[in-house]
Amino acid sequence: MKKTLIMLVIFGTFFSCFTDVNAKPTNDNQVNCDTLEAMFITLLNPLSVEIILERIGGQGMSYSLSDAKILDIERPEVGGFRFITTIRYNSYTGPHNPPYGIEILTYDITASGAKLLNYTHKIIN
């Protein structure tokens, strides 16, 4: 009985040492970068629409959030909660009619809110 038990323990140990484990790491806690970018653009939308419509004016001028793109994010202080962010919006008249434009807005974002640092408007055809 002892020999059988010892052989079973030895065989089990030997078998478990040379068996590959095919476990894959899970990324359940990671958020997709596209989702974060869309959320960030959405949070800045109320300020962006106010600035863009004030600057380019006119009835019927608009832009699409789905075309907006974050060009740059800087964090001036390591570990700080201040971000300098540049976003590009494609503007248009009416239902996506010309004149088309590119609006580039640079924000200084802190825990107390966002302020516009720079605005560039370029008409494209």
3-class DSSP assignment, residue 36: helix
Q: What is the pLDDT along the chain (125 residues), one digit of tens a residue?
A: 777 767 777 766 766 666 666 767 766 677 788 899 999 999 999 999 898 888 877 666 788 898 999 999 999 999 999 999 999 999 887 776 777 889 999 999 999 999 999 999 998 87
The answer to whether the beta carbons of residues 105 and 121 sit under 8 Å apart is no
CA distance 70 to 106: 10
Q: What is the pTM of this model?
A: 0.71
